[in-house]
A and B are shown apart, each in its own frame.
Chain A
Amino acid sequence: MSQLVFDPSKVMDIDYTLRTEYHAELERARASRTVLKELAYAPSLPERGYNDRTLYVNVDTLQVEEKPVTRQMKDVFLGGRGFGLWHLWNAVKPTTKWNDPENEIIICPGPVSGITQYSGTGKSLVVSLSPQTGIPIDSNVGGHFGPFLKFSGFDALELQGKAEEEVILFIDGQKGIMRFERITDCPEDSHVLAEVLTSLYAENEADRVNVSVVSSGAAARHSLIGMLNFSWFDQRRGCIRLKQAGRGGIGTVFRDKKIRALVCRGPRIKSDLNHVADQETLARTAIKYHKEIRDNDPHQCMMRRNGTAHIVEIMDAYDLLPVHNFQYGSHPDTVKIDSAYWQQRCTQRTSDGCWYGCSMACAKGADGVVLKTGPYKGHMVTVDGPEYENAAGLGSNCGVFDPDYLLELNFYCDTYGICTITWGTLCAFVMECWQRGILNKERTGGLELCWGNAEADLEMMHQLARGEGFGLIAGQGVHGMKRIFAERGWGDPRLMQDIGMEVKGLEYSQYMSKESLAQQGGYALTNKGPQHDEAWLIFMDMVNKQLPTFEDKAEALYYFPLFRTWFGLNGFCKLPWNDVVPSDNATTSEPAKVPEHVQNYVDVFNATTGLKIDKEEMIHQSAKVYNFQRVFNIRMGKGLREFDVPPYRSVGPVTREEYESRMERYDQQMRDEIGVDPEGKSLEEKMAITREFRMNRYFKLMDTVYQRRGWTPNGVPTQARLKELGLDVFPEVVEVVKNHGG
């Protein structure tokens, strides 16, 4: 056990108020602004977390409609991701593709979202049909747009249609006005666009805190991996900051609909805007938690100093940090990008929360970054993070251990509107293809995409933003690249399948699952694709050995995905759950679940909504939405067993080098678990035996998990399970299940 000590004398002395400003761009935007349509509406504030109103907008016809939030919607889908999935289900057909006009982007804050008492309560969920997977994607995002939308009168915003020309939607929750506008001389990349639009739509400088912008960037327009930036105005720094709805390509859908930006001007934030049912319980629970952060965070994860980057060196120490496209789990150069460095590089003189009242305040910012490449070369910018996923994905997984380049990669991913996790994993795949001769300079148009070449990595990204060259191919993601490379005869498709880290079309996030069977399931048995926000079980399984049987693993793969789904239904951030724990957590019966915090969530939910749930009902609430999403996947043609199979790289050693790097572990497994003596066997024989064993073990896990979840062996929720969850009231849902043997 080690504890990084904060040493203020080591923090780089950077004036965090200095950066390049975009006054000329603002003036040009102001001069080229046209109002297409304006209408008045009646703003409202939520009662007990809900406005009971949905805002529907067709960006093609500029039709605006209000829809009620029904009792049934609240009972079954709760809010957030649940509302998003329900609206999307009603909007699309089984044949709908991501770029069809009927596909929607739905932004839903959730009933708890926007309270300012408890930490991590400013989240929104964004739902759409993903360009990468063809099934619903949900992405959890901070920034202020969601709460502002809610305090302007709406529990959800549905965006449908495809505009012929670029359009901006402005919702003014203070004045009760909605306006469609076009700005012909408008920046595209998010750090400029959000700054310009914040100034343009704020009534004066002091009003900028009430404005939030949703945008994407130039690379989203040319790729399948676009993400959305949600802004907030950082008063201390005097600039806009960005949080990302990263996964699954929602930014691509946004740009395909020719939406340049969404802007919401909310009311001045106060502590009682959600009109909660029980202010006293809420305040009591929150104060207890804030004290816990103050007392325990400095000697636990130090989230307030380091953010999620605190686990870079931890993952390295446990052989879990992805290195060179998930081949290895640690690297001697990790010390160059670990939290000791980020603690010095990130500004420590200002609080860094992404929503009011969050005392965890982990949205770290590296200020004074002067860019070395691309269209903003020479500009001084503030880079959010890097968070763990960015340091691992853009860094170690690609062999990039230069922190300056890592910040630049992080910055350009954000402003160009592409997902950092996806970019990290797809670039790692590209670099391994280079290593194995599948790619070369001729095929990449001159880019030398070898391990650690950050300049080539950046140029590939700039190409994508410009819509040219090999960058365009990279922008198709790992799934698309495997197909393109195979079609061009550039490599062995079986090898590319093994090393291409994607399931259902979505790239893996940045943890090594190779030695944890439960985590292999935690990734591949997800609804949307391999993101760690369903189940992060590596420590429980691989290190603690708390899950020795298939049944134990299946139970964890039942509980944790449902528990974590609940955050997305309500507008909670996951981090305050278990990145700090109460002092007496060790004495509880299930410390890994952090029981006191689970009870806090029950109390905050009940205090907000006036309902009376307990921790069992919390799981039941999630199970309704989780199973509905599974059925939705099946309806769209991608929810069955065959789509839950991981690439072998996430299960075991694909190459000789990988086997040799952990020879002792694999040989021991052969002796102890497979019952075969490795002595005298060739490396190829041992690799084949290991592969057969590990894949069979994974398939057995699938069977056990499906059974625990109430699904058929083909991964279909049974009719009995639907009935148990009350989903049998939806005939279309039952029909999908019936048609697939459920």
Chain B
Amino acid sequence: MITVNGDRLDWTEGMTVRDVLKAKNYKFPMLVIKIDEVLVQPRDYDATTVPDGAVVNVLHLLSGG
């Protein structure tokens, strides 16, 4: 189990940041993602795995009219 923005999410072996975004349906392009307070760069979303028990924060920047 991991925590994403305060909500619990089932963890799977080899789960990447990209998998987390898909599971949460997070589609906004301007995100700031930290795993256990460590920043992950967008270019690393596919390669970075999320450990079991991790606290993931996906900050969506404001946008709109």
Chain A residues with CB under 8 Å of chain B are 1-3, 299-301, 308, 311, 313-314, 317-318, 387-389, 509, 511, 532-533, 536-537, 539-540, 543-546, 548, 574-575, 578-579, 581, 585-587, 591-592, 594
Query: Which of A300, A308, A543 is the one whose CB lies under 8 Å from B5?
Result: A543
A315 CB to nearest chain B CB (Å): 8
A308 & B60 in contact (Cβ 8 Å cutoff): no
When the two chains form their complex, are residues B29 and A594 in contact, meaning their CB atoms are under 8 A apart?
no
A591 to B31, CA, bound (A): 10
A-B contact pairs, 23 of them (CB 8 A): A1-B18, A1-B21, A1-B29, A1-B42, A3-B29, A308-B65, A317-B25, A318-B25, A389-B65, A511-B64, A532-B65, A533-B65, A536-B64, A536-B65, A543-B26, A544-B5, A544-B59, A578-B61, A581-B30, A581-B61, A591-B59, A591-B61, A592-B59
Contact of B62 among A318, A387, A539 (CB under 8 A): A539
Complexed CA–CA distance, A591 and B59 (Å) = 9
Partner among A2, A574, A587 whose Cβ is within 8 Å of the Cβ of B29? A2
The residues of A that contact B63 with a CB separation of less than 8 Å are 301, 311, 314, 536, 539, 578-579
Given contacts A300-B29, A300-B30, A539-B61, 10 further A-B contacts (CB under 8 A): A1-B26, A1-B42, A388-B64, A511-B64, A539-B60, A543-B58, A578-B63, A579-B63, A587-B39, A591-B32
Chain B positions within 8 Å of A314 at CB level: 27-28, 63
Within 8 A of A (CB), among B26-49: 26-32, 39, 41-42, 45
Which B-chain residue is minimally distant from A313 (CB atoms)?
B27
User: Mask for B8-33, Cβ within 8 A of A = 1, else 0?
Assistant: 00000000001001000111111110
Q: In the complex, are the beta carbons of B29 and A308 less than 8 A apart?
A: no
Rounded to whole angstroms, the CA-CA distance of A389 and B65 in the bound complex is: 7
Cα–Cα distance between A409 and B38 once the two chains are bound (Å)? 48
Cβ distance B57 to chain A, nearest Cβ, rounded Å: 7
A3 to B18, CA, bound (A): 13
CB distance from A285 to the nearest CB of B (A): 21
Interfacial chain B residues near A575, Cβ < 8 Å: 65
Question: Which A-chain residue is minimally distant from B21 (CB atoms)?
Answer: A1
Q: How many A-B residue pairs lie within 8 Å, measured between CB atoms?
A: 87
B25-A536 in contact (CB<8A): no
A532's partner among B5, B45, B64 (CB-CB below 8 A) is B64
Q: Which residue of A lies closest to B39 (CB)?
A: A586
Q: Report the bound CA distance from A528 to B45 in whole Å.
A: 42
Query: Which interface class (under 10, 10 to 19, 20 to 34, 35 or more) fits B?
Result: 20 to 34
Which residues from chain A contact B25 at a C-beta distance below 8 Å?
317-318
> Are A1 and B28 also in contact (CB < 8 A) when A578-B63, A591-B61 are?
yes
Shortest CB–CB separation between residue A317 and chain B, in angstroms? 4
Min CB gap B12→A, angstroms: 19
Which residues from A are CB-within-8-Å of B64? 308, 311, 388, 511, 532, 536
> Contacts A300-B30, A314-B27; is A594 near B61 (CB within 8 Å)?
yes
CA distance A626 to B65 in the complex (A): 20
Q: What CA separation (Å) do A544 and B30 show in the bound complex?
A: 13
Given known contacts A308-B64, A536-B62, A585-B32, A544 and B27 CB-to-CB distance under 8 angstroms: no
Which A residues are CB-close (under 8 A) to B18? 1
Name the residue on B nearest A303 (C-beta).
B63
Contact A2 B59 (CB under 8 A): no
B28 cross-chain contacts in A, Cβ below 8 A: 1, 314, 317-318, 539
Query: Which chain B residues lie closer than 8 Å to A587 at the CB level?
Result: 39
Known: A543-B5, A544-B5, A586-B32. A592 touches B27 (CB 8 A): no
**In the complex, chain A residues whose CB is within 8 Å of the CB of B6:** 545, 548
Q: Which of A313, A509, A539 has the most CB of B within 10 A?
A: A539
Find chain B residues with CB under 8 A from A545 CB. 5-6
How distant is the Cα of A581 from the Cα of B28 in the complex, in angstroms? 14
B37 to chain A, nearest CB (A): 13
What is the bound-complex CA distance between A596 and B5, given in angstroms? Answer: 25
CA distance A540 to B28 in the complex (A): 13
B6 closest partner in A (C-beta): A545
> Roughly how many angstroms separate A461 CA and B63 CA in the complex, as a whole number?
31
Q: Are A1 and B31 interface neighbours, CB within 8 A? A: yes
Residues on B with beta carbons closer than 8 Å to the beta carbon of A536? 62-65
Q: For residue B61, which residues in chain A have a CB less than 8 angstroms away from its CB?
A: 539, 578, 581, 585, 591-592, 594
Q: Output the nearest chain B residue to A509 by Cβ-Cβ distance.
A: B65
Query: Which of A1, A387, A548 meets B65, CB within 8 Å?
Result: A387
Contacts of A511 in B (CB 8 A): 64
CA distance A348 to B64 in the complex (A): 21
Query: Hey, which chain A residues are within 8 Å of B5, CB to CB?
Result: 543-545
Chain B residues whose C-beta falls within 8 Å of the C-beta of A509 in the assembled complex? 65
Least Cβ distance of A339 to chain B in Å?
11
Contacts of B58 in A (CB 8 A): 543-544
Q: Kindly list the 5 A-B residue pairs having the minimum CB-CB distance in the complex, ordered from nearest.
A: A539-B60, A586-B32, A545-B6, A317-B27, A2-B27
Instruction: Tell me the smallest distance from the CB of B56 to a CB of chain A, in Å.
Output: 12
Question: What's the minimum C-beta distance from B22 to chain A, rounded to whole angstroms?
Answer: 9
Q: Kindly provide the distance from the CB of B43 to the nearest chain A CB, expressed in whole angstroms.
A: 11
How distant is the Cα of A544 from the Cα of B63 in the complex, in angstroms? Answer: 14
